[in-house]
Structures are given as C-alpha cells and as structure tokens.
Amino acid sequence: MSNPAMLHELGGRAKTASKQIAVASSAVKNSALELMAHTLVEKQDDILTANRLDIEQATANGMNRSLLDRLSLTPARISAMADGIRQVAALGDPVGEIIEGSLRPNGLRIQKTRVPLGVVGIIYEARPNVTSDAAALCLKSGNAAILRGGKEALHSNIAIAEALREGLSAAKLPADCVQLIKDTSRQTAAEMMRMRGYIDVLIPRGGTGLIKAVIENSTIPVIETGVGNCHIYVDEAADIDMAKAIVVNAKASRPSVCNAAETLLVHQSVAPSMLPTLVSALKQAGIALRGCEQTREILGDLDIIAVTE
C-alpha cells in the first residue's frame, strides 16, 4: 500500500473513532485512561525490549548521550508515564464546559462551549513518553489521535501504542482512537501534513526545524508550540536554600528533557548574595554556565563563560 493510501485509510479509521470518543462520557473516558495506564505497566517488559532495540540502533548511529537519555526507558520511567495518564484522568473534563455566555435583550442566550476538535495529528521527535502523553490528552478532550514519532524511537512507540490501544479496547472504546504512523520517512511526514479532511489540527512538538517545517508545509491548521528556553526567576524574597534546591533540580535532575531549566534570572537586589551560592551548587552538579557581563562581574573568578547571544 502506498504512503497516501495507507494514511488515508488510517485517517478514515480515526475519523470514525473520533465520532464515538467525542460523545463518550467523562466516566467512560476516565475508565479508558485508567485501563491504558494499567496496560502500559502490564506490558512493561515488551516496551523495554522494544526500547533496547532503539537504544542499540541509536548508539550504533552515534547518537549523543543527551539524546540517548531522552530515548531511554526504564521501569521507573514507564511507571511515571502511567502516572501521567492517571493524572490526566483526574483532571476535569473540558468537553461541554461553558467558557462564557450572555443573554441578549430579545431573550436569545449565546454561549461559548468547549467541544472536541475531532482528529488531532501530532508530529514529535525521539521521546517515547510523548506517545502516551499525547494519546491521553487527546482522549480526555474527546479527540482521536494520529501520532508520528521520530524514527529513533519507532520500536518503543509501536510497543507503547499497542499497549494503549489494548487499554482502549478493554474500555469498549475504539482502539483507533489512538493510531501510530509506523512509516517514519520524510515523505510520509509530508503526506501527513496534507491530510486535510482527515486530520483537523496538527501539532508539532520538537525543535525549531520540525516546527518550522510543519508550519510552512501543512495544509491543516497548526497549533504552534514553543521550542524551549525554560526560565527560573529567583525573587528578592526567596528562601536561598529552597531556591538552590529548585534551581539544581530543574537543571541537573535530567538535563536532556525539553523542560529542563536553561535560563536563571535573579532579582538584582539579591544577585550579589544569592548568585554565588546558586552558581556553586550548579557547578558542583556538573553544569556549564554562561552569564551576562553583570553576572560575571558579581561572580568574579567562578569561571563563567561570556554569553554570545
């Protein structure tokens, strides 16, 4: 089957599934999410076996350590993925929520109400946990999902998607509420961006290049996401011990992920007293630091690289 034919078949199944999930009750959706989380843990061995294949191939291809960490799964990380699904289940149901409304002088009531979008397409890079995150969020909001992950995580994504689909079936919902595109070629990605009529909105999650490519080539409405540069601000009233713990954890606990801290801002009135403590803690954690001219003046001989942009 050619790429367009395969995608159109997949899109048709997603459209059919989206009609059922759009009208599913909160209880049904939450039950499905709980079963998806359960099945994810139950299929842990299969997922880890698949992940090892991805890690071996990525290592052979020279993937750097930071990206390998993003790609790697462990029992603890799979458990965290399942917990993430359960947290989504615990959220309020957005479907049917009235955002605002008014009563016109003639008695006509106008309301703005949240409704499902239909089929959400998500293109992302080599982060297997995004597969479960994206599927859970789409399901909770009453949408079917078509997922296309990076080629480096293909085996992991297939195993995760199969577990999620099994959970959906156990909840008596269509497994096609979650579908994974297994062809990770650029041609297929380009075809996905043109699936107007099947996909209602496309969300790219990844680096600047990926987001730019989707925005420039998609014929489907796109929700543009950010590319990172997470900030932490330490106020003048902050407790120094708490600030140090938060700053070090935000950067050093797992530097490879996209929500790791990348910029530290400290209130100028406490910068002379707080910066040395914070910077020393970060350097002890092995973090390389760059600073503006004012920061380098405050820190003196603490070996801070000058910023270049």
Domains along the sequence of the chain with CATH = 3-95+114-217 (3.40.605.10), 230-306 (3.40.309.10)
Handedness of CA 275, 276, 280, 281 (dihedral sign): negative
Helix H or strand E segment including 188:
helix 186-192
| Residue 133 near residue 39, CB atoms below 8 Å | no
Predicted pLDDT of residue 283: 86
Quote the strand ranges of 157-307, DSSP E: 178-180, 201-205, 230-234, 261-266, 290-291, 305-306
Work out the angle between the directed axes of helices 26-42 and 44-60 (0-180°, nearest 10): 60
pLDDT by residue for the chain (309 residues), tens digit each? 557 889 999 999 999 999 999 999 999 999 999 999 999 999 999 999 999 999 999 999 999 888 899 899 999 999 999 999 999 999 999 999 999 999 999 999 999 999 999 999 999 988 999 999 999 999 999 999 999 999 999 999 999 999 999 999 999 999 999 999 999 998 999 999 999 999 999 999 887 888 888 999 999 999 987 666 788 999 988 888 898 899 989 888 777 676 788 888 898 888 888 888 888 888 888 888 888 888 888 877 667 888 876
Closest CA to 125 of 296, 256, 280, 273: 256
Write out the two tokens for 239.
């407790």
Write out the two tokens for 152.
């480096």
Write out the two tokens for 275.
């910066």
The 3-state DSSP class for residue 123 equals strand
Q: Are strands 305-306 and 290-291 parallel, antiparallel or unpaired?
A: parallel
Predicted pLDDT of residue 273: 87
Closest CA to 177 of 223, 127, 96, 119: 119
| Residue 127 near residue 71, CB atoms below 8 Å | yes
Rounded Cα distance, 64 and 61, in Å: 9
